[in-house]
Amino acid sequence: MAKFNCTVCPETKEYNDVLTMKFRSEGIRYFDKDNNPVDECVCGGMMEQESKNEGFGGFISDGRGGTGNFKRS
């Protein structure tokens, strides 16, 4: 699910469909499956996608400096 917040007014939109990111002259834009822009607000302002940082990122090692490639004996 993607959630967009307007930069001008308090309007928000939520999308559960697949969205496509496309690079345009004004920057990265988001479009729905019918190629309609989803990051334009009804007031005419641009909407920014709300990002949530949940969980953690990291690298899990086997303790010997391995990367998952190992020999079977």
Average pLDDT over residues 23-46: 86
d(CA 50, CA 4): 6
DSSP H helices in 1-73: none
Residue 33 CA to residue 35 CA, distance in Å, equals 5
**How many other β-carbons are positioned within 10 Å of the β-carbon of residue 20?**
11
Q: Is the pLDDT of residue 70 over 70?
A: no
Mean pLDDT of 17-44: 86
- Give the model's confidence band at 62: pLDDT under 50 very low, under 70 low, under 90 confident, else very high: low
Q: What pTM does this model have?
A: 0.58
Distances in whole angstroms, Cα of residue 40 to Cα of each of 33, 53, 67: 16, 24, 44
What is the spatial distance between Cα 63 and Cα 61, in angstroms, rounded to a whole number? 5
